[in-house]
Amino acid sequence: MRIRLGLLTPPNDQRKNLLFFFLLGMLAVISTTRVAGAQIAFTSGDWIPGPNIYIVDSEGKKVRQLTDHERGDWSPTWSPDGRWIAFESERVGHPEIYVMEANGRNPINLTQHPAPDRSPAWSPDGRQIAFISLRDGSFDIYVMNADGTNPIQLTDHPRPDIDPTWSPDGTRIAFESPRISGSDIFVINADGTDLKRVTDARQWDSEPAWSPDGTQIAFASWRGSIWDVYIIDVDGKGETNLTNSKSNDKHPTWSPDGQQIAYSSQRDGLYGIYVMNADGSDSVALVENLKVAIEPAWAPTSLAVSPQNRVVTLWGSIKKHKSR
| Domains with residue ranges and CATH for the chain | 60-322 (2.120.10.30)
Least confident range of 62-71, 103-112, 184-193: 62-71
Q: Establish whether the linkage from the previous residue to 49 is cis, with ω within 30° of 0.
A: yes
Nearest to 214 by CA among 280, 176, 262, 165: 165
pTM: 0.83
* Statement: residue 12 has pLDDT above 60: no
Q: Is the pLDDT of residue 5 over 60?
A: no
Q: Residue 128's pLDDT is what?
A: 99
Measured distance between the N- and C-terminal CA atoms of the chain, rounded to whole angstroms: 56
Phi, psi of 33 (to 5 degrees): -65, -45
Query: Hey, which residues does 176 pair with through a beta bridge?
Result: 162, 185
Higher pLDDT, 19 or 202: 202
Q: What would the mean pLDDT of 291-299 be, rounded to a whole number? A: 94
pLDDT at 174 over 50: yes
Cα angle vertex 269, ends 267, 275, to 5°? 40
**What is the arithmetic mean of pLDDT over 198-203?**
90
Distance from C-alpha of 105 to C-alpha of 285, rounded to nearest angstrom: 28
User: Tens of pLDDT along 83-135?
Assistant: 999 999 999 999 999 999 999 999 999 999 999 999 999 999 999 999 999 99
